[in-house]
Amino acid sequence: MKADIYNSRAPKKATNLSVNSDLLRQAKEHHINLSNTLEKRLIEIIAEARRREWKEENRGAIEAYNYRIQTKGVFSEGLRKF
């Protein structure tokens, strides 16, 4: 999935961040790689934002589909055995 979200081959770019000093100390104590941690979390956040955007963009179609299924049923309604 991450291949759909960003170009994993893009070069790294240095940046400056301000981080709570206690969190930074604890991260260092636990040998947490801040760059990798940030990238992983950004992937999650971006994926969630894209899901929300997709749902909003397609809300009308989803509502129309759900209404059609509620009122007319699915094509295989009479064929199911469960």
Q: How many CA atoms lie within 13 A of 33 on its CB side?
A: 4
Task: Please report, rounded to a whole number, the percentage of residues in the chain having pLDDT higher than 90.
Answer: 79
Residue type present at position 38: L
Directed axis angle between helix 34-57 and helix 59-72, to 10°?
60
pTM of the model: 0.75
pLDDT at 59: 98
Residue 1: predicted pLDDT: 47
pLDDT < 70 positions in the chain: 1-3, 80, 82
User: What pLDDT is recorded for position 3?
Assistant: 54
**What pLDDT score was predicted for residue 74?**
84
Domain ranges within the chain, ordered by starting residue: 2-9+18-72
Contacts of residue 38, defined as CB under 8 A and 6 or more positions apart, other chains included, come to 17
Q: Is the dihedral of CA 43, 44, 45, 51 positive or negative?
A: positive
DSSP label at residue 6:
S
